[in-house]
Every structure is written in structure tokens, then in C-alpha cells.
């Protein structure tokens, strides 16, 4: 079992290149199911979930080749299996995203109900309800969702804002007969990135980046070349690290326009930020100030940055309140941070944090992907040695985080038992 060993080592200085966004790359890879041509993707992060999606697509018969660095060619011309099995789906919730494109192109799909991080319920009802509105017949049995039917355009109003649901229905609608109107869509940058790629593939989509998208179905899509949007959550994690340790770091290949809510909170915490089209420089010369925040769908403050800001607030001057409105079980990092000397109390969807001047190194357990990141950046400012266990969560969402942080002065290494 691999772990990360972190020793507090002072301020961070230097440059970090931000990877492509996992939450954009996975639906883009699934979009390869929509065409018999080749979809070429660049800036793909080589993460555990990406490798799982690679296996999943190949298991369905697609031809997938990669340079092993950041590019994939996905050709759906040889697909001969419309079932996504439990063995692969169980580790990754994004696997449900093969349902819409497979059904739209082949008239049938069978997908195991997904697994993923244990941060709370993320039901797929909105996906299924939307596909039924488009004419699909759906049954659930033995842990699988089975969908059949020729899709036809319809008006679909999602009961809640759902990123995955929006992506699944958007992909399905591109090949549905007639016009589809999707209402209450998620507007996250990763949804926009998918929509822009689909347009390159020949889809007809209006309203990209808004809560209502209109899709005129086409008979077929073709291949294209597309680069994955930079990972705003990885970028935000590194910015929080510098805000906590002090120092000056420039993030290259970033997308500051996708993370304005996070940048605003960092400025409120006292960080000096300079942004350009594809880079962000942060300089921190003092202890951060405590900031209150409430997670909401984009363009508000993202739930995927909540744990990192709880860690920042743990060492900030003053007290703060963090309210989590997206997932009901996303404060599992709190007891681990308290083991390091933080003063945090969490009840229901609210955490109250009294900032302390210093944390102490300890052995802590990563309970989910973003909790892993919060414990790592806490370890950067803790006195002594911090061991973060169960980092398999981390490898699902961060590419070479120990190398990137090590490159700017952090003392962090991966160890094996």
C-alpha cells in the first residue's frame, strides 16, 4: 500500500504546469462512442480513472491508442459490445457517461450502476429520466441499467443541476431525431468543454455555457481533434498550498476564467494574485485570513475545493464557517485535520473552523479524492512528519502531485509499506 510522507518545509517557490481536467477528460473520452471516426484528445491527464475509461472503451470494442503522456486516439468504428460491466464501472462513477452516447448510436446500452468516492449520494435518476423523455425504454435489474430505443428530440427539464446528467443527455441528444431542449443544465467549464468538442464533431448545439441548451439532432458525427480544458481544481489546490505556506508560484497552462469564485476567496484570504489568459501567479507573504464560504453549483464556489479551503482556514487568522450544500457526507477530512491539531467542529452541512497558528504532523487517512488533497497541503505547513494513507483516492484525480509540489520546494515523497 502506497503512502505519502510530507515534512513541513516552509514557503514554496517556482513554476507548476497544470494538467488537463479529469472531469472534462472522462466525458470527452466517452464522446468517442458517438462516431465511427477517430476522436483525438490532447492534454489528457494520465490518472487512474482515465486508465479505467481506456479499458472500458476497449472492452466495448473501441480502438484506443495513447502516447502514454497526454494524448489519446479513440476510434468507435469497431464497437461490438454495448455493455459496460461492473468490474470496471464499480470504481468510477463517470462510467455512467457511456450510457447516453451508446444508446443514441446503437439503440441499446447496458451499464452497471456505478461506484466512486464515498462522499454522498449521487443518484443517476436524472440521467434515466431524461433518456426516457427522449424515448428510451429503461429497466434496472441485477445491478444494471438496460436502455433500448430510438431517441427522438424532446424538452427535458432536470429536477436538479447535475453535471453528469447534463453531459449524458447532451451526448445522447446529438444523435436523437429532431430537436431537444435541455433545461436546468449544469454550466461547469467541463460541460462547456464537452459541448465545444461535440460541435467540432458536427453536433448542432445552441446555448453552450447557459442553463438551457438546444440540440438539433444529426444522423452521424465525425472525428475531430480537441484539447482538454485545464484542471481548475488542481490549480486551486496548488494555490491553496501557497496561500498556506507562503511563497510565490506561477501556474502555467491554467484557465483563470474557469475559477473566479476560488480566486476571489484567495484574494479575500490575503493572497496577491496576477492572472493572464493561461497562467496564474500567487504570492503570499503573511498568514492567511479566515474566509467564510458556501458551496454551490458553478459559477459559485465548487464543492471540489471545499476540503482544501477547510485546510487553509485551519491555519488562518480568525474563525470561519464553511457550508456544504452539494454532498451530504463531505466533511470526512475534518477529524483527520483535527488529528493534526486543527480546531474544527462539523455538524450537518456546516463546519466551524477556529484558525490555529500551527499544525502538527500525524498519520492520517484519506477518505476521498479531495480530502486527500486537503491533508497533503495541511502536511506542508505542519511541524514534523505527516503520513497520508490510502492515497489511491488521490491517484484518481491528481497527476504526479508529489512531483509537482516537490518541484516548488515541498518535501514530499511516495513510499510503500
List of residues 6+ apart from 254 with CB closer than 8 A: 18, 230, 232, 235, 278, 279, 280
Pairing label, strands 83-84, 108-112: parallel
Task: Answer yes or no: is 304 a known binding residue.
Answer: yes
DSSP letter for 317, please: B
List of residues 6+ apart from 256 with CB closer than 8 A: 263, 275, 276, 277, 279, 280
Closest by Cα among 309, 259, 260, 262 to 289? 309
Active-site residue, selected from the candidate residues 30, 117, 185, 197: 117
Pairing label, strands 363-365, 350-354: unpaired
Task: Answer yes or no: is 124 a known binding residue.
Answer: yes
CA distance 230 to 392: 22
CA distance 23 to 236: 14
Q: Using alpha carbons only, how large is the chain's radius of gyration in Å?
A: 21
CA distance 264 to 37: 42
Place of cell 433500448: 148
CA distance 21 to 43: 8
CA distance 360 to 255: 34
Catalytic annotation present for 224: no
180: alpha, beta or left? (left if phi > 0; alpha if psi -120 to 50): beta
- SS3 percent helix, strand, coil of the chain, rounded to 5, is 35, 30, 35
Task: Answer yes or no: is 22 a known binding residue.
Answer: yes
Angle in degrees, 0-180, between the axes of helices 260-268 and 232-245, rounded to the nearest 10: 10
Q: Are 7 and 384 in contact (CB under 8 A)?
A: yes
Element spanning 168, H or E: helix 163-174
Angle in degrees, 0-180, between the axes of helices 189-200 and 163-174, rounded to the nearest 10: 10
Binding residues for UDP-N-acetyl-alpha-D-glucosamine: 93, 122-126, 304, 326
Residues known to be catalytic: 117
Binding residues for phosphoenolpyruvate: 22-23
Amino acid at each position: 500500500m502506497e503512502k505519502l510522507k510530507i515534512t513541513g518545509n516552509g514557503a514554496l517557490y517556482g513554476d507548476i504546469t497544470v494538467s488537463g481536467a479529469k472531469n472534462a477528460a472522462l466525458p470527452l473520452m466517452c464522446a468517442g462512442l458517438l462516431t465511427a471516426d477517430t476522436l483525438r484528445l490532447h492534454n489528457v491527464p494520465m490518472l487512474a480513472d482515465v486508465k479505467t475509461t481506456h479499458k472500458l472503451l476497449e472492452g466495448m470494442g473501441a480502438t484506443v491508442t495513447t502516447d502514454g503522456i497526454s494524448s489519446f486516439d479513440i476510434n468507435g468504428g469497431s464497437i461490438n459490445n454495448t455493455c459496460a460491466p461492473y468490474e470496471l464501472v464499480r470504481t468510477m462513477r463517470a462510467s455512467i457517461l457511456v450510457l447516453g452516447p451508446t444508446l443514441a448510436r446503437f439503440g441499446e446500452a447496458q451499464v452497471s450502476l456505478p461506484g466512486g468516492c464515498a462522499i454522498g449520494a449521487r443518484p443517476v435518476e436524472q440521467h434515466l429520466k431524461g433518456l426516457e423523455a427522449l424515448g428510451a425504454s429503461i429497466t434496472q435489474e441485477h445491478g444494471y441499467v438496460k436502455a433500448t430505443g430510438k431517441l427522438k428530440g424532446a424538452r427535458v427539464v432536470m429536477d436538479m443541476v447535475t453535471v453528469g446528467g447534463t453531459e449524458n443527455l447532451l451526448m445522447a441528444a446529438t444523435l436523437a431525431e429532431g430537436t431537444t431542449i435541455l433545461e436546468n443544465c449544469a454550466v461547469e467549464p467541463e460541460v462547456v468543454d464537452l459541448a465545444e468538442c461535440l460541435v467540432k464533431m458536427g453536433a448542432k448545439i445552441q446555448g453552450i455555457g447557459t442553463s438551457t441548451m438546444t440540440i438539433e439532432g444529426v444522423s452521424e458525427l465525425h472525428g475531430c481533434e480537441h484539447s482538454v480544458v485545464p484542471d481548475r481544481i488542481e490549480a486551486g489546490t496548488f494555490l491553496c498550498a501557497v496561500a498556506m505556506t507562503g511563497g510565490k508560484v506561477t501556474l502555467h497552462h491554467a484557465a483563470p476564467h474557469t475559477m473566479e469564485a476560488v480566486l476571489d476567496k484567495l484574494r479575500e484570504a490575503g493572497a496577491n494574485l496576477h492572472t493572464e489568459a493561461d497562467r496564474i501567479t500567487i504570492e503570499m507573504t503573511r498568514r492567511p485570513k479566515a474566509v467564510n464560504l458556501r458551496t454551490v453549483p458553478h459559477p459559485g464556489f465548487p464543492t471540489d475545493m471545499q476540503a482544501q479551503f477547510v485546510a487553509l482556514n485551519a491555519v488562518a487568522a480568525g474563525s470561519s464557517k464553511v457550508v456544504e450544500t452539494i454532498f451530504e457526507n463531505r466533511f470526512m477530512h475534518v477529524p483527520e485535520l483535527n488529528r493534526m491539531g486543527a480546531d474544527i467542529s462539523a455538524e450537518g452541512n456546516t463546519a466551524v473552523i477556529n484558525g490555529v497558528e500551527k499544525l502538527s504532523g500525524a498519520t492520517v487517512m484519506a477518505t476521498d479524492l479531495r480530502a486527500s488533497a486537503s491533508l497533503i497541503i495541511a502536511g506542508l505547513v505542519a511541524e514534523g512528519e505527516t503520513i497520508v494513507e490510502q492515497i489511491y483516492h488521490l491517484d484518481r484525480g491528481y497527476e504526479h502531485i508529489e512531483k509537482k509540489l516537490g518541484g516548488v520546494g515541498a518535501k514530499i515523497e511516495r513510499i510503500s509499506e
